[in-house]
Amino acid sequence: MQQRILRRRFKSTKSNKLFTKAQTIIPGGVNSPVRAFKAVGRTPIFIKRASAAYVWDEDRNKYIDYVGSWGPMILGHTNPAITKAIRSALKRGTSFGAPTGLEIKMAELITKLIPSIEMVRMVNSGTEATMSAIRLARAYTGKDMIIKFEGCYHGHGDSFLIKAGSGAMTLGVPDSPGIPSTIAMNTVTARFNDLTSVRTAMERNKNQIAAIIVEPVAGNMGCVPPMDGFLQGLRSLCNEFKALLIFDEVMTGFRVALGGAQALYGVRPDLTTLGKIIGGGLPVGAFGGKKEIMQMVAPAGPMYQAGTLSGNPLAMAAGLTMLRILHANKMIYKQLEQRSAQLEEGIRCNLNKLGLEHSFNRVGSMCTLFFTSKPVTDYDSAKTSDTAKFSTYFNSMLEQGIYLPPSQFEAAFISTAHSEKIIEKTIKANYKALR
């Protein structure tokens, strides 16, 4: 009897071997830094396959997945309709480097679901989307500077790795070498949820700020919601100082609501960047906004932007299918809210039972448990988290079969494949890991 209930000892032999080999030919053994598990003091697990709410690693360990490929997998892995759409597109070819009808359908659906987007350009990553959006803001306003927020991450474009969040923050390298000071000097950082810091930045750089770019719900310092009036305040400041407001909705787009964070908080940006969910798991990004601004984008206008695989037919097929499912099934966001609220309630109950005062932030189906008793409202308060305690917690959850984002400064994601039973199992593991 005892044998049967003993969990197979957690082992990562094959992942460790692969990681050793990977490090000889891929920088750090990974194609994106946060995957290296540096922040949680262990070698990364190598994923072999995924299905619904689960991933399996090369050592046949099964995990409930709360990374969800960092956001795209809102419908869980291997969603049958998305798989079918990719298979069918595949038969017609993988890439043409020419316009296709699918791209029009994608543009029509995005502009329907996010009314502030009157025109949209497809690209291949969130980074490309944000890089292009600030170039467009600079072209449209004739100004060079941008304001971003400490702890927010907008991809690895030169103008953004200035006190960036996500990987850079996780790796404790708030700035990156290789960025010319002439670029860095055009980025001013303000404090998230602090309108005074934004006004100060605007006034100190009068008539030089082309745009404010913000994650309307921060996900890259961990999940940090906007305080009441913060986003509305940014909108007013942009109007007052004649700067564009850019919502980086690469993570929040179609995640926190069908119309993104701008629908949830009722604030209309001038430009929006998208990624992740709109690709259904394939490489994608997009930037869009007011027609008068977007008309500046080549070949309609002078601002150059291009991409060999932009609007790729497989990515369009996958992304369009995902958006159509989200649009057709109004119950999806209700279901995501119910499951996410169940997780939050269970974790808060565990914290009370154990007398722990950790902070927990959540917006819809993105959330973060912070190992600090302070309320987490910005970069500085996020940094009061005990990352060593988080690391121990992460490893205990991993060995219990729960795969969390391997960093205190990331958001976890719940999908429609996360059933009540799966959430219950997670809550039980959370109790054991916190004990």
Q: Which is nearer to ligand KE4, 191 or 351 (CB)?
A: 191
Tell me how far, at minimum, the Cβ of 156 lies from ligand KE4, in Å: 7
- Report the nearest approach of ligand KE4 to the CB of residue 185 (Å): 22
- In angstroms, the CA 195 to CA 34 distance is 30
Q: Tell me if residue 148 falls in helix, strand or coil.
A: strand
Q: How far apart are CA 371 and CA 426, in angstroms?
A: 18
- Nearest distance in Å: CB 105, ligand KE4: 22
Distance CA 306, CA 141 (A): 21
What residue ranges bind ligand KE4 (CB under 6 A)? 32, 34, 70, 125-127, 130, 153-155, 166-167, 215, 219-220, 248, 250-251, 275, 285, 410
The residue whose Cβ lies closest to ligand KE4 is 126
Of the pair 34, 434, the CB lying nearest ligand KE4 is at 34
Residues 275, 129: contact at Cβ < 8 Å? yes
Q: Least separation, in Å, of the C-beta of 383 and ligand KE4?
A: 16
Q: What is the DSSP string of 241-280?
A: HT-EEEEE-TTTBTTTBTT-HHHHHT---SEEEEEGGGGT
| Contact assessment for residue 9 and residue 17, using Cβ atoms and an 8 Å cutoff | no
- Shortest distance, CB of residue 34 to ligand KE4, whole angstroms? 5
Rg of the chain taking only CA atoms, in angstroms = 21
Task: Select which of 140, 153, 393, 403 is catalytic.
Answer: 153
Q: How far is the CB of 207 from ligand KE4 (least distance, A)?
A: 27
Q: Is 153 a catalytic residue?
A: yes
152/434 with CB nearer ligand KE4: 152
* Shortest CB 14 distance to ligand KE4, Å: 22
**By C-alpha distance, which of 424, 405, 432 is closest to 40?**
405
Cα separation of 220 and 88, whole Å? 35
Residue 313's contacts (CB-CB under 8 Å, 6 or more residues apart) are: 89, 92, 93, 94, 95, 96, 100, 102
Marked catalytic residue, from 140, 276, 333, 393? 276
In eight-state DSSP terms, residue 303 is: B
Helix (H) or strand (E) holding 286: strand 285-289
With a CB cutoff of 8 Å and minimum separation 6, the contacts of 24 are: none
Which one of the listed residues 57, 65, 194, 248 is annotated catalytic? 248
Q: CB-wise, 77 or 154, nearer to ligand KE4? A: 154
Annotated active-site residue 421? The verdict is no
Please give, one letter per residue, the 3-state secondary structure of 311-354. Answer: CCHHHHHHHHHHHHHHHHCCHHHHHHHHHHHHHHHHHHHHHHHH
Any catalytic annotation for residue 194? no
Q: Output 57 or 205, the one with its CB closest to ligand KE4.
A: 57
User: Burial letters for 313-331: b for 16+ Cβ neighbours within 10 Å, e otherwise?
Assistant: bbbbbbbbbbbebbeeeee
| Of 167 and 281, CB closest to ligand KE4 | 167
- Compute how many other C-beta atoms are within 10 angstroms of the C-beta atom of residue 238: 21
Instruction: Identify which of residues 344 and 410 has a Cβ nearer to ligand KE4 in the complex.
Output: 410
Catalytic residues: 153, 248, 276
